[in-house]
Amino acid sequence: MEREIRGIIWDMGGVILRTMDPSPRTELAKHFGLTRKELENVAFLGDDSRIAELGQITREEHWSRVASQFGMSPQDGHIFEDQFWAGDRVDKDLITFISALRSKYKTGLLSNAWSDMRELLNGYMPGCLDVFDASVFSYEVGLVKPDERIFQLILDKLGVQPSQAVFIDDFEINIAGAQAAGLNAIQFKTLEQVKMVLAEQYQVFPG
């Protein structure tokens, strides 16, 4: 049976903003005797990352603490951060696709993120946030995915019911959280894969 989809909600990191060139992060990991995955786990999966996502410490404080774990001075956190993100880019083709959806669907951005991410994202690609009708960043609301309450926040902003929305994220745990909140969900692998699932499973096509 065809579903009435009215809203498409996107994750940011790993979906819209991705590591297109892994070499800067790989070299940084190698410098500290780690694999890239081990380095990313320190940055993303530690307690400091979670409290930064909740808005309890700033992005700068998070990177200062990460730098300290690697024997760098806290003041050098920005140096560590700059190299860590050096290979990341906004997927311009994805932004174009989201923009094309707006004539028929509400578009949302829902991200677990550290402070100042709105400004940083616009630094990567000025105006990229303009393709979204609403956006929610975890540090602004004190909630993180997969908490069902943060999904309800973006649904309320878009004015759609859970069953009328499709959520796209690269992490399985967030997909499960969205589904528990009543949303339809797609785990992101590639833009072409998401386009195919949106069209075939949800009858979602750009205008």
Are 39 and 12 in a shared domain?
Answer: no
What is the β-pairing status of strands 106-111 and 134-137?
parallel
How much is the pLDDT for 74? 84
Same domain? For 197 and 95 the reply is yes
Q: Are residues 192 and 154 in the same domain?
A: yes
Give the C-alpha separation, 140 to 24, whole Å.
29
Per-residue model confidence (pLDDT) at position 1? 36
Residues of the chain with pLDDT under 70: 1-3
Q: What pLDDT score was predicted for residue 76?
A: 86
Taking residue 165's Cβ as centre, other Cβ atoms within 10 Å add up to 25
Domains identified in the chain, total number? 2
Q: Is residue 80 located within the same domain as residue 95?
A: no
Q: What is the pLDDT of residue 3?
A: 65
Q: How far apart are the first and last CA of the chain?
A: 22
Residues 75 and 117 in one domain: no
Q: Is residue 126 part of a domain?
A: yes
In a domain, 37, yes or no: yes
Residue 147 has a pLDDT of: 98
How much is the pTM?
0.96
Domain that holds residue 48: 21-84
Give Dmax over CA atoms of the chain in angstroms: 59
